[in-house]
Amino acid sequence: MEKDTLQQTLPLDDMLIGQYRQYKDLISKNDTPHVRQLRQNAFKKFEKERFPTSNDEQWRHTDVEALTGDSYINELQPPDSEKNIEEMFRCDVHNFDTESYSMLNGWHSGNGESLKTLPEGIVIGSIRAAMGAYPEIFEKHYGQIAESEGNGFIQINTAMMQDGVFIWVPDGVKSAKTLQIIKIINKEEQLFVQSRNLIVLGKNSELSLMHCDDSVDQHASLVNTVTEIFVDEAAHLEMYKLQNLNDQSALINSTFVRQLANSTIKTNTLTFNCGLIRNNIHVRLDGQGSHADVLGLYLMDKEQHIDNQIRIDHNVANCTSNELFKGILDEAASAVFNGYIYVARDAQKTNAYQNNNNILLTPTATINTMPFLEIYADDVKCSHGATVGQLDQEAMFYIRSRGISAANARLLLMYAFAADIINQISIEPLRQRIDDMVKKRLRGELSVCEKCVLHCGAPEKEYHFDIDLSQL
Amino acid sequence: MSISGVIKMGSQVDAIRLRITIFAALFKHDLNKFIMDENTNNNILEEVTKGEYKFGFFSDIETDYAPKGLTEDTIRFISAKKEEPEWMLEFRLKAFRHWLTLEEPEWAHLHHPPIDFQEIIYYASPRKKPQLESLDEVDPELLETFEKLGISLDEQKRLSGVAVDAVIDSVSVKTTFQDTLSKHGIIFCSFSEAVKNHPDLVKKYMGTVVPYTDNYYAALNSAVFSDGSFCFIPKGVRSPLELSTYFRINAANTGQFERTLIVAEEGGYVSYMEGCTAPMRDENQLHAAIVEIIAMDDAEVKYSTVQNWYPGNKEGKGGVYNFVTKRGLCKGNRSKISWTQVETGSSITWKYPSCVLLGDHSIGEFYSVAVTNNFQQADTGSKMIHLGKNTRSTIISKGISAGKSNNSYRGLVKIMPGALNARNFSQCDSLLLGDKCGAHTFPYIDTRNQSSIVEHEATTSKISEDQLFYCNQRGIDTEKAIGLIVNGYAKEVLNKLPMEFAVEAQKLLSITLEGSVG
């Protein structure tokens, strides 16, 4: 087998372009003509536009050149793995039974079949396998939802897509268990990992999905994930993204959602740890009566950087959306939030709400928040708010005057701040587990993954603050 | 006694009427119809969106022009025409050479055909007259122009106690009340006079707040600016008068590039107002101004403006492109700079009055009402840069869009690491009248220390059915109710305007269409 990596010290874009040219046939070996065509178009665009730089308005606050200027290894063949990571990372949160699907370094892993049908009829598996098995779904949705204009990360993902997750929920099917996608990065070298996911929900279907990004080592990596989600009429999607990678990792995560009439989605992006993370979430409300809840929580410290770019397009009338992102920034962490609500002409009776609250704990933490509104219809209610501040001194005084130590009072207030997001998690066992993780994280006890994000390997232990609440 | 004194003594009813007047002025709505005629059935929305521009007359004044186009020769011509010292010419040329290296900014939410900078006449002045001793000697055409604008200079002189500097096309034509001001040591004159008579002050402060390298239009202005106002408040002096400048573009194909510099020394106070109009023309005219304000320890500068350049006709033809850089520097401790703007004119507005809060405990304020209708586009807002400790800033912006216009708020609040305990509150609301317009909000908040508190909130709405119903229920018809609600909506900002402006707004309104040609 030919060696599939270009071990060079070229910048990432040059390396990828070289790799594509050299191994074009290998990359598009299993492609349907549709996918191959998309690859070629995307590659042409990428060759011209390359990766964005901090001169691009959208990337102004994130040092993207430092990422893309570095050299990485991009694997074009699945890694050989004897370990059954599916077993290893299987989630055993108490009372929380999930159907899991694992990926190692961006490739389908484990001994199981690459495409399986669950008892209720949901199809889950590797996008490589699904391409041939469900060409009509691919033709309809793949590459149609993601917007690649002016975004080199999307272009190169489309051009060199190798593996990822495919989920198809047929009309009327409701998922019995939460599906859990576990993505592990484990490699001795500096890896560039791309994964491409396609999730299609049929009419009146329901899906509960948990998407965990993890790393199990201390090596640097750059992950570029693109997820396309299609939510058909009256379908409901609940999605939790848990991000807990090491401080050397960078994650560029782009999620595009297209919703039809009366569908609802709820996404919750929980970022606990990662060197640099960029979440692009773009929701298009294309059918009347649809609703999107886009929530997020980020708890960053050290020199970590998070950049959340959330865009919601109200393209038709009578849709509602709710966007709430909260963050606590410690040490020299920096955060960027850019919310964008777009209301098209004649998208009357729109109700959109956008809020971003931040707490800075140290003099060196920074936040850039940009809550934008672009509105072309008059019968709408759109509001947004953004706050940056510290813990409320009066509340602090109140708690301390009841004999609670400064450190504990601080924890309690931070926890209360985060609770707004945690309480919106509707799967109770998961809510409890995340609640514990937040408590641990705030106490500085959350290490980067012993096993997976959810730390189910850790002994089942209730986390309590050392506070006698009766004193309050 | 100043006019504001008279008004304060008047009945409360008068005060309320006055506020309504300002509102009416915003909407180019006929005041008398609005208040007096109880039976008015005119749809206010119609009037708001279809009102005619009332200052579109053109005065036939003999004018000197610079040759069309922009080269180093044009700049030498302007400088020579104004009999400027060598250092001024050097400054202009440096700015011009820098401008050549820049590209036109495209980040704003504005769409317009490219501007041909070689098609513009960069200097036009009313033909020089011999030195005048009294107003009687002023060109009667010119006086008439000001009469039409409601700035009858001699009337002002007698009654209002407002010192006026009027700038027509590019040149300052008349400054009133200089004697009274000079008694207090206040310098209020045209920029060219300041260059001649107070070169040290101009050299010391010009370009310190808005350097010529600041942006494309600031560089252009620095190269070709023709005149403007200069105002200097010495230590400990509170200006006894409101200072005011009127700008008017008269000649065709000309750009107007004026430059205002206001300096308040320790403990000084001044309230400064600017107004502007232009004739109706089919082609677009360019206006690129710079305003610099410097406030030293304990000084306070209050800057108010009603921007009423020609907005173009109902089809979006013509109108003034208004690209303005306005910035204040709170240099001293406890200094304060306050911007109040009412933006009703211009086909394109690109304007972000800013405050750099350098001194500890300094305060920056920004109050804005921006109204766009027909095909107008506005991208306006404020920047507050917090550098000093305990600095505070407030941004209140009210956007009203009607017709097919687009109205954007764009603002930046930046808290630097040294700005301990800084505080900002921003509120920007948009009101949409009609379903063909757009209202956008682009706030940028950049916080770099943990002791500051920054809050931003914004809403977008139309006039709610509930509010209308409430008014109707109490016997107020829909048209009046809309007026009332919009008035209430913008009141927070309108209240910040000096009373003198209210009077002038009234005068502006009383200009009848018969009196205007063009």
- Provide the shortest C-alpha distance from residue A320 to chain B (in Å): 14
Q: CA-CA distance, B283 to B252, in Å (whole number)?
A: 9
User: Tell me, what DSSP letter sits at residue B76?
Assistant: H
Q: Which region holds residue B230: left if phi is over 0, alpha if psi is between -120 and 50, else beta?
A: beta
- Provide the shortest C-alpha distance from residue A69 to chain B (in Å): 26
- Provide the shortest C-alpha distance from residue A383 to chain B (in Å): 4
Yes or no, beta carbons of A370 and B443 under 8 Å apart: yes
B50 located within any domain:
no
The tens digit of pLDDT for each residue in A255-265 reads: 999 999 999 99
Out of A361, A365, A373, the one facing B440 most closely (by C-beta) is A373
ipTM of predicted complex: 0.79
Residue listed under structure tokens 């990372």: A89
The amino acid at residue A211 is H
Out of B109, B450, B454, the one facing A363 most closely (by C-beta) is B450
CA distances B248 to B81, B251, B258, B291, Å, are 20, 9, 11, 16
B212 located within any domain:
yes
B22 located within any domain:
no
Contacts of A4 (CB under 8 A, 6+ apart): A23, A26, A75, A76, A77
Q: CA-CA distance, B394 to B396, in Å (whole number)?
A: 7
List, in sequence order, every residue forming a beta bridge with B377; answer none if it has no partner: B348, B406
Q: Is the pLDDT of residue A203 over 80?
A: yes
Yes or no, beta carbons of B454 and A386 under 8 Å apart: yes
Residue listed under structure tokens 């999730």: A199
The reply to whether A358 touches chain B by the CB within 8 Å rule is yes
| Residue numbers of A between 319 and 348 with CB closer than 8 Å to B | 345-346, 348
Residue of A nearest to B457 (CA): A385
- CA Rg value for chain A: 22
Out of B434, B440, B457, the one facing A378 most closely (by C-beta) is B434
Q: CA-CA distance, A239 to A180, in Å (whole number)?
A: 10
Out of A368, A380, A382, the one facing B445 most closely (by C-beta) is A368
Residue B147: is it exposed, middle or buried by C-beta count within 10 angstroms (0-12/13-18/19+)?
middle
Mean pLDDT estimate for chain A: 84
Contacts of B68 (CB under 8 A, 6+ apart): B118, B119, B120, B121, B253
Q: CA-CA distance, B290 to B39, in Å (whole number)?
A: 46
Yes or no, beta carbons of A373 and B453 under 8 Å apart: no
Out of A346, A361, A373, the one facing B460 most closely (by C-beta) is A373
Yes or no, beta carbons of A363 and B454 under 8 Å apart: no
Q: Which residues in chain B are closer than 8 Å to A371, comparing Cβ atoms?
A: 441, 443, 456, 458
User: Tell me, what DSSP letter sits at residue B241?
Assistant: S
B496 located within any domain:
no
Q: Which residues in chain A are closer than 8 Å to B109, comparing Cβ atoms?
A: 374
- Provide the shortest C-alpha distance from residue A203 to chain B (in Å): 33
Residue of A nearest to B410 (CA): A372
Yes or no, beta carbons of A386 and B442 under 8 Å apart: no
Yes or no, beta carbons of A387 and B417 under 8 Å apart: no
Residue of B nearest to A389 (CA): B453
Residues of B with CB under 8 A from a CB of A: 107, 109, 415, 417, 430, 432-462
Yes or no, beta carbons of A380 and B434 under 8 Å apart: no
Residue B154: is it exposed, middle or buried by C-beta count within 10 angstroms (0-12/13-18/19+)?
middle
Out of B442, B451, B455, the one facing A372 most closely (by C-beta) is B442
Phi, psi (5° rounding) for residue B485?
Answer: -70, -45
Helix (H/G/I), strand (E/B), else coil: B239: coil
B interface mutation test: which of A62, A337, A359, A375 has the most B CBs within 10 A?
A375
Answer yes or no: are the C-beta atoms of B405 and B344 closer than 8 Å: no
The tens digit of pLDDT for each residue in A167-187 reads: 999 999 998 888 888 887 777
Q: CA-CA distance, B167 to B289, in Å (whole number)?
A: 13
The tens digit of pLDDT for each residue in A71-101 reads: 888 888 777 665 555 555 554 555 567 777 8
The reply to whether A261 touches chain B by the CB within 8 Å rule is no
Q: How many residues belong to chain B?
A: 518
Q: Which residues in chain B are closer than 8 Å to A364, comparing Cβ atoms?
A: 417
- Provide the shortest C-alpha distance from residue A334 to chain B (in Å): 9
Q: Which residues in chain A are closer than 8 Å to B417, comparing Cβ atoms?
A: 363-364
Q: What is the pLDDT of residue A407?
A: 84
Number of domains chain B contains: 1
One digit per residue, the tens of pLDDT, for chain B of length 518 reads: 333 322 333 333 333 333 332 333 333 333 333 333 333 333 444 444 445 665 666 666 666 677 777 888 888 888 888 888 999 999 999 999 999 998 888 888 888 888 888 888 787 766 554 344 444 555 565 566 556 555 545 544 443 445 566 665 555 555 566 777 888 899 988 888 889 899 999 999 999 999 999 999 999 999 988 888 899 999 999 988 778 777 766 666 667 788 899 999 999 999 988 876 666 666 778 888 999 999 999 999 999 887 777 777 777 788 888 899 999 999 999 999 999 888 877 888 999 999 999 999 999 999 988 888 788 899 999 999 999 999 999 999 988 887 888 999 999 999 999 999 999 999 988 888 778 888 999 999 999 988 888 988 888 878 778 888 998 999 988 766 776 777 777 777 777 777 656 545 434 433 322 222 22
Yes or no, beta carbons of A390 and B453 under 8 Å apart: yes
Q: What is the pLDDT of residue A459?
A: 44
- Provide the shortest C-alpha distance from residue A267 to chain B (in Å): 24
Q: Which residues in chain B are closer than 8 Å to A361, comparing Cβ atoms?
A: 450
Name the helix (H) or strand (E) containing B368.
strand B363-372
Yes or no, beta carbons of A366 and B453 under 8 Å apart: no
The DSSP line for A230-265 is: EE-TT-EEEEEEEEE--TTEEEEEEEEEEE-TT-EE
Nearest to B396 by CA among B459, B331, B313: B459
Nearest to A87 by CA among A459, A465, A452: A452
B33 located within any domain:
no
Task: Return the number of CB contacts < 8 Å for A and B.
Answer: 115
B254 located within any domain:
yes
Q: Which residues in chain B are closer than 8 Å to A355, comparing Cβ atoms?
A: none
Q: Which residues in chain B are closer than 8 Å to A383, comparing Cβ atoms?
A: 457-460
- Provide the shortest C-alpha distance from residue A337 to chain B (in Å): 10
Q: Domain residues for B115?
A: 56-130+137-469
Segments making up each domain of chain A, as ranges: 12-287, 394-472
- Provide the shortest C-alpha distance from residue B218 to chain A (in Å): 22
B interface mutation test: which of A321, A372, A373, A384 has the most B CBs within 10 A?
A373
- Provide the shortest C-alpha distance from residue A159 to chain B (in Å): 30
Q: Which residues in chain B are closer than 8 Å to A323, comparing Cβ atoms?
A: none
Q: CA-CA distance, A436 to A462, in Å (whole number)?
A: 7
Yes or no, beta carbons of A367 and B446 under 8 Å apart: yes
Name the helix (H) or strand (E) containing B401.
strand B392-402
Q: CA-CA distance, B166 to B249, in Å (whole number)?
A: 11
For chain B, report the end-to-end CA distance as a whole number of angstroms: 38
The reply to whether A385 touches chain B by the CB within 8 Å rule is yes
Phi, psi (5° rounding) for residue B427?
Answer: -140, 125
B240 located within any domain:
yes
The DSSP line for B109-160 is: S---PPP-TTSSB--EEEPP-PPPSSGGGS-HHHHHHHHHHT--HHHIIIII
Yes or no, beta carbons of B458 and A385 under 8 Å apart: yes
Helix (H/G/I), strand (E/B), else coil: A447: coil
Yes or no, beta carbons of B443 and A388 under 8 Å apart: no
